[in-house]
Amino acid sequence: MILKLISIPAFFPKLMRGITLEKVNYEGIANALKHLGLMLRGGFHPDANDEISAATVVLIGNAGTGLWQSFSGPKNSQDPLDDWCREVLQPFAHNLGADILFPFDGPPYYPFISWAKRAEGLSSSPIGPLIHPSYGLWHAYRGALLFSHVLEVPLPLSTNPCESCTDKPCLVTCPVGALGVDGYKVSTCVGHIKTPLGDDCLGQGCRARRVCPVGREYLYAPEQAAFHMAAFAQNH
């Protein structure tokens, strides 16, 4: 796989154009992130029960193929996507006067799933990953901006598309039964994709995820899906 290299100085001024510390707001941040194929994924205001020193937490993520079209990363990196996210989002956060946390920092890891449920109102799908009413299962979270002041953030969503899905094909599609009503059998999944019989899942993405009828227009491109599956196989 060939990864494009984009110089930070080349796009960073464009990324921050029009954003100053006096004009930081949710919409402005979202518009700036579009240049990276990223998006804001809701936010929340921590309370006394949260172990976060911030007045507002705003999540950064992606959906569909947008990130893949912008992504570049170190060729000699073990985790090129994580490294790229850190490389572009740390200076981005600094220029907003914010701190930033990443889901891959740890252990211990920050509770991004809990934050996502709180920020966007999402629910877990029958096979585990969070389901979005528009993006389906084809989305992810890449970072969290922490602001010391209160920012207005959108209200969480309240729709769980799985509740109206009667067939739930995701539970019966896995060729080796690694995903079903009994949960996720990680070792069964990994054992399958590391054999020639698992080439379809390894090269196109998890078959159980691909059969979900929600967010079909946001399916990852084959190269993108293969990248994530290869990383999953490597880490297991």
Tens-place pLDDT, residues 25-47: 999 999 999 989 999 999 999 99
Calculate the average pLDDT of the chain: 90
Helix (H) or strand (E) holding 96: helix 80-96
pLDDT the model gives residue 22: 55
User: Does residue 4 or residue 190 have the better pLDDT?
Assistant: 190
Give the integer Cα–Cα distance in Å for 110 and 102: 8
What is the pTM for the complete model shown?
0.89
> Using one digit for the tens of pLDDT, what is the confidence trace for 129-159?
999 999 999 999 999 999 999 999 999 998 9
* Alpha helical stretches, state H, 154-219: 186-193, 199-204, 207-210
Residue 115: pLDDT over 80 = yes
Give the integer Cα–Cα distance in Å for 205 and 226: 6
147: nearest Cα among 96, 111, 110, 113: 96
Give the mean model confidence (pLDDT) for residues 110-122: 96
Instruction: Answer whether 164's CB lies under 8 Å from 60's CB.
Output: no
> Using one digit for the tens of pLDDT, what is the confidence trace for 42-73?
999 999 899 899 999 999 999 999 999 998 76
